[in-house]
């Protein structure tokens, strides 16, 4: 905006003509007013973009409530307080560790391609590159990754293990991955400042199918593998026993909260909205934000319906919990390419995501892998598919609009852009799996060896709410103990005075 209001006092003085008493002073005054107006427009742009980013951060943070409700409904009633508390502590511990270390490791520029090295404890923030709003937004992403992992190891994990892994994941493991793909210094970032992009394209993981979902899913995979399945999940004969969650209502509520928050997760990843692609036109970044919300919606809806009918064919039931997981799988998959694909392609993404989720769940059963929320399959499997999908369907026009730092870069294979982007994205899948395995796997193994990971069989059978948190989450009556003793059901024994039945 400011560029259209540039004013040169020397040039303007010539235009005012010889009849002007003091042409130079008049020109300077007029140009000064133009500069003041230009500054106001610039201030308004910053304010609008910051407000947009903050609102998006609030939406992403609201996903924590969605995670909490989804997790609570997916576990048995005897572990409800435990899983709710872990969700609260993901946010609380993650907030401190991301403030102290995580944000610096992720976005501490200038730095090397592996890890950031500035802004520890938000030192030197705000700056010309970062404001506090970006920290808040990225923190909400970091705790989302930790929340994914907590679902995989639910109902059998010691509380201290949650604190340790959540702090390590949000303070180090996740920030390093986000630096690789989102920082201007990251070795595989699509927006790398020096233009030296991986295979000429970089990795287009716009909102984090890999950075967030795969990281959380792979961490959960290792945690669940090292802990082993819950007691009773698999019979001695190999038969699978469904340990169903206690509340489908909470699952649906959590799913809708996550759906709502995803409109901050994906469209909010632009971080700015007031950017015109062609000044003076109706089409700009605000249009891309709207398109991203549409692709997000279509992928989730398609995955939900595909899961609904797919599970109906396989099991003979219309299962609301499966549909909710399918919906979330579609969202996890579209997160990578939501800004650079056409809406029709999002339908393809959602359909395949549902097939991937159903297949991963079948494989997990065969391998006797127990994940109470299907988090590793959903976020890891569907997240990996989303990375591949982007490399196949990203369009040239949208890639150049969203990533204008290097025009003419490779785009989707199926859209005529060649295979370089696909190779870059396969590299992303491999390095994320390798990095998270090399960091979180040993952490869970050490906790297991120190007997800090899994609770005792007695605690697991009784439920952690009773043994670790002082009581159950639900109160089933309002009477005090004396009233309950008076109204307890008793077995009536037959005796001589019992009237005969007619």
User: By the 8 A CB rule, do 38 and 58 touch?
Assistant: no
Residues listed for the chain? 502
Residue 371 backbone phi and psi in degrees, to 5: -130, 105
Give domain status of residue 485, yes or no. no
**Containing domain of residue 65, as a range?**
38-462
Look up residue 454 and give its DSSP letter.
B
* 1-15, 37-51, 153-167, range with greatest mean pLDDT: 153-167
- Say which CATH number the domain at 328 has: 1.10.3430.10
Strand, helix or coil for residue 353: helix
Half-sphere exposure (Cβ direction) of 219: Cα atoms closer than 13 Å: 30
Give domain status of residue 482, yes or no. no
pLDDT band of residue 307 (cuts 50, 70, 90) is very high
Rounded CA-CA distance 413/415 in Å is 5
Separate counts of helices (H) and strands (E) for the chain: 19, 0
Question: Which residues, 6+ apart, have CB-to-CB distance to 206 below 8 Å?
Answer: 266, 269, 335, 336, 337, 338, 339, 340, 390, 402
- Of 361, 365, 255, the C-alpha closest to 301 is 255
Token pair listed for 446: 């050490």
Question: Which residues, 6+ apart, have CB-to-CB distance to 441 below 8 Å?
Answer: 222, 226
Give domain status of residue 434, yes or no. yes
Average confidence score pLDDT of the chain: 88
Mean pLDDT over 23-46 rounds to: 72
Quote the pTM value: 0.88
Give domain status of residue 502, yes or no. no
Lowest mean pLDDT among 53-57, 337-341, 475-479: 475-479
Total domains present in the chain: 1
Give domain status of residue 469, yes or no. no
User: By the 8 A CB rule, do 371 and 364 touch?
Assistant: yes
Rounded alpha-carbon distances, angstroms, from residue 445 to 35, 147, 154, 164: 62, 20, 17, 13
Give domain status of residue 307, yes or no. yes
Give domain status of residue 477, yes or no. no
Does residue 421 surpass a pLDDT of 70? yes
Lowest mean pLDDT among 2-6, 111-115, 287-291, 340-344: 2-6
User: By the 8 A CB rule, do 430 and 384 touch?
Assistant: no
Give domain status of residue 14, yes or no. no
């Amino acid at each position: 905006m400011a560029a259209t209001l540039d004013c040169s006092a020397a040039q303007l003085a010539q235009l005012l003509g010889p009849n002007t008493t003091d042409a130079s002073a008049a020109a300077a005054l007029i140009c000064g007013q133009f500069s003041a107006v230009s500054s106001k427009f610039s201030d308004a742009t910053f304010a609008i973009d910051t407000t947009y980013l903050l609102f998006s951060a609030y939406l992403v943070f609201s996903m924590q409530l969605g995670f909490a409700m989804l997790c609570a409904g997916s576990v048995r009633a005897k572990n409800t307080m435990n899983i709710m508390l872990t969700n609260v502590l993901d946010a609380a511990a993650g907030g401190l560790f991301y403030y102290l270390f995580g944000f610096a490791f992720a976005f501490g520029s200038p730095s090397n391609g592996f890890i950031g090295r500035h802004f520890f404890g938000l030192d030197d923030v705000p700056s010309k590159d970062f404001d506090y709003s970006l920290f808040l937004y990225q923190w909400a992403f970091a705790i989302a990754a930790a929340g994914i992992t907590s679902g995989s190891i639910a109902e059998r994990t010691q509380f201290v293990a949650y604190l340790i892994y959540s702090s390590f994941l949000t303070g180090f493991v996740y920030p390093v991955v986000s630096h690789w793909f989102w920082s201007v210094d990251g070795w595989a970032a699509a927006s790398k400042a020096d233009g030296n992009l991986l295979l000429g394209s970089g990795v287009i993981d716009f909102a984090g199918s890999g950075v967030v979902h795969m990281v959380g899913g792979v961490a959960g995979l290792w945690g669940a593998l090292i802990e082993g399945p819950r007691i009773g999940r698999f019979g001695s004969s190999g038969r699978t026993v469904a340990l169903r969650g206690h509340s489908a209502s909470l699952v649906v509520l959590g799913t809708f909260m996550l759906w709502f928050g995803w409109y901050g997760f994906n469209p909010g990843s632009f971080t700015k909205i007031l950017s015109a692609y062609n000044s003076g036109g109706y089409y700009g970044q605000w249009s891309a934000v709207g398109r991203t919300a549409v692709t997000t919606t279509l992928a989730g809806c398609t995955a939900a319906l595909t899961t609904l009918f797919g599970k109906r064919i396989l099991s003979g039931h219309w299962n609301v919990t499966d549909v909710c997981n399918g919906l979330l799988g579609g969202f996890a998959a579209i997160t990578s390419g939501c800004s650079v694909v056409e809406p029709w392609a999002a339908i393809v993404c959602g359909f395949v995501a549902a097939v991937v989720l159903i297949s991963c769940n079948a494989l997990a059963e065969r391998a006797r892998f127990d994940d109470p929320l299907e988090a590793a399959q959903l976020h890891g499997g569907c997240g990996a598919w989303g990375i591949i999908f982007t490399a196949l369907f990203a369009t040239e026009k949208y890639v150049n609009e969203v990533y204008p730092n290097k025009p003419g870069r490779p785009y989707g294979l199926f859209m005529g852009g060649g295979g370089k982007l696909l190779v870059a994205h396969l590299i992303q899948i491999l390095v994320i799996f390798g990095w998270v395995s090399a960091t979180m796997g040993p952490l869970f193994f050490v906790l297991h060896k120190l007997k800090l990971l899994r609770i005792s069989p007695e605690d697991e059978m009784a439920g952690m709410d009773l043994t670790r948190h002082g009581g159950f989450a639900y109160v089933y009556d309002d009477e005090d103990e004396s009233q309950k003793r008076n109204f307890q059901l008793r077995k009536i024994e037959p005796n001589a005075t019992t009237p005969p039945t007619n």
